[in-house]
Amino acid sequence: MSWFSKLMPSKIRTDALSKSTVPEGLWTKCPQCNAILYKAEVERNLEVCPKCDHHMRINARKRLHLFLDTDQRQELGEELAPMDPLKFKDSKKYKDRLVQAQKATGEKDALIAVRGRLKGQPLVVAAFDFQFMGGSMGSVVGERFVRGAACALEFKIPFVVFSASGGARMQESLLSLFQMAKTSAVLARLADAGVPFISVMTDPTMGGVSASLAMLGDINIAEPNALIGFAGPRVIEQTVREKLPEGFQRSEFLQEHGAVDLIVDRRQMRDKIAELLNLLSHGRHRFAGERGVLLKDDGTHEHAPRIAPPSAEAAEAGTVHAGIGSLEQLPPDAESAARGGTGIVQAD
């Protein structure tokens, strides 16, 4: 309190302070353009800055709420909870980090899978929560992903995943790396069955997640200016001792170099994915390995020419058709994982 405030009569001082008090939580700051924004306006704009269109990070449950129709939702694998079989400890015990993350987010782990509807069309959607230990992929994340994919496979409905992750979970060591093979194997089964899989990469999608499930979509979509890659740009610069190009590892750079098919604004995400799923699901019994979708630069699309099946010689040699092999070509452990094998998880 300043000396001038101390000289003011208590009645005047109280009135002045009460008039200048602003309720907390009304305003927020855009991390990109530093504009001060009315929080309610940002929420109405789906957490996109109305000044510069910067896409702010949102948690998994809010993303699912914004994306799915409001009725007929069923969460998959919600009873699964992470364990600490390695008794891992760095500066803090892994189990303590889990408790801290669970209290901060209200979630048991970093991925939520839900069966629901998008504009009336049934589908399964999974979303990573970056606020939960950086969205890292451990055993529970892998198992929930597989259950979501298995549900999509059982009912022959599309599978959509929103990635926001720093990669494999360090505290689960090799067990977390297993999830890369496990999730990739079950996606191969979806491809063989002709079940559409759309991957949506949001800021950030890095490490083992980007190196496995996030890049395996029939269509790979990214939000604007999302950071997508394996190692971070600073690590790469220190390794190669060269200055990286401007915008390196951002979604626009990846689209320009063919790693991403579409960049879609969050406010148009529901409409665009519903449109793509209608296209992919039309005659889906012919989708696997036969017809794909050509995406044009202007965002429109058309059916791709039919792809000829592999020759008998190629099949004998184990050549992978369209970049994805069948489960029979996978190692036994990967096949077991894809069929819902065991993860280091615990059901409540």
pLDDT digits (tens, 9 = 90+) for 63-91: 999 999 999 999 999 999 999 999 999 99
* In the chain, domain spans: 1-56, 57-347
Judged by average pLDDT, the poorest of 51-55, 99-103, 259-263, 326-330 is: 326-330
- Render 44-57 in DSSP notation, one character per residue: HTTSB-TTT--B--
pLDDT digits (tens, 9 = 90+) for 227-243: 999 999 999 999 999 99
CA proximity to 163, closest of 212, 118, 231: 212
CB contact at 8 A, 176 and 304? no
57-347: CATH topology is 2-enoyl-CoA Hydratase; Chain A, domain 1 (3.90.226)
Q: Please report the pLDDT score of residue 348 as a whole number.
A: 64
pTM of the model: 0.78
pLDDT at position 345 over 80: no
Higher per-residue confidence, 154 vs 11: 154
Q: What's the Cα-to-Cα distance from 298 to each of 32, 219, 247, 276, 303, rounded to whole Å?
A: 26, 15, 21, 14, 15
Give me the mean pLDDT over the 285-289 stretch: 43
CA 173 from chain centre, in angstroms, equals 21
Measured distance CA(189)–CA(195) in Å, rounded: 9
| Confidence band of 281 (pLDDT split at 50, 70, 90) | confident
Give me the mean pLDDT over the 17-40 stretch: 80
CA angle 115, 118, 123 (to 5 degrees): 35
| Confidence band of 25 (pLDDT split at 50, 70, 90) | confident
pLDDT at position 338 over 70: no
Give me the mean pLDDT over the 285-298 stretch: 48
Q: Please report the pLDDT score of residue 2 as a whole number.
A: 59
Measured distance CA(237)–CA(82) in Å, rounded: 35
Per the prediction, the chain carries an average pLDDT of 84
CB contact at 8 A, 77 and 109? no
Q: Please report the pLDDT score of residue 336 as a whole number.
A: 42
Q: What's the Cα-to-Cα distance from 222 to each of 85, 135, 160, 271, 312, rounded to whole Å?
A: 35, 17, 13, 15, 37
Residues of the chain above pLDDT 90, percent: 71
Q: SS3 of 130, please?
A: coil
